[in-house]
Amino acid sequence: MALVFEGFPRLLEPSALKPGRWFATSYKLETRVCIMTDAAEDGVPIVLAFGQHKAQHVEFEPVLLKELTETLLTLDCDIVFAPAGPAGRLALPLPSKRKSPHGALLHLTGGEFGIGIAARGGRFTAVSLTSGHIAERYDLAFDSWSLTLRRANLETLMGVYEPEARRLARLAG
């Protein structure tokens, strides 16, 4: 009988992380799915970290690479983002009409999807979820979205992300 190990994660060194590289780590005592970006704050690279929170809620935050002190592991699965909300409708008008919030899922003008992050100075930056590079323009924005991990025939819904203010209002009301 043969033993088969699929998707056995490998350790990564921080120096091996290039923009667009997805990986897993532990941050704030939770497992996080992360993507390396070419965005930086005061010269320190920024990583986008996605984690599962209570009740199928996805927590998203930009983290400085130097704050990830736990083991970094390869991630061998497909990462699927999809607009969420009533019937997957467009949640925000075109960006020229309204500024997109931190965490918005963006359709970049090059056809890729990205995510919006708000830096400490309040500057809004769009980052590609494919390449990890900063994007200049986007066409559409969705303020809530779902994140699913897919491997072979197995799908694991990590949860749905929605802006903090809307989530708190929904829980209170």
Give the start-to-end residue ranges of the domains of the chain.
15-172
Neighbours of 147 (CB within 10 A): 22
> What pLDDT sits at residue 5?
63
> What pLDDT sits at residue 141?
82
Q: How far is Cα 24 from Cα 51, in angstroms, rounded to an integer?
A: 10
> What pLDDT sits at residue 66?
93
**Cα distances (angstroms) measured from residue 169 to each of 64, 88, 134:** 29, 20, 31
pLDDT per residue rounded down to tens, the chain (173 residues): 566 566 677 888 988 899 999 999 988 878 899 999 999 988 999 999 999 877 688 999 999 999 998 999 988 889 999 887 654 445 554 555 556 678 889 989 888 999 988 866 667 888 999 999 999 888 878 888 999 999 888 888 888 998 776 666 666 76
Q: How far is Cα 109 from Cα 135, in angstroms, rounded to an integer?
A: 9
What phi and psi values does residue 9 have, to the nearest 5 degrees? -65, 150
Q: Strands 145-151, 78-83: parallel, antiparallel or unpaired by DSSP?
A: antiparallel
**3-state class (DSSP) for residue 102:** coil
Q: Which of 96, 36, 29, 25 is nearest to 64 (CA)?
A: 36
Which strand (E) or helix (H) includes residue 140? strand 138-142
**Do the Cβ atoms of 17 and 65 come closer than 8 Å?**
yes
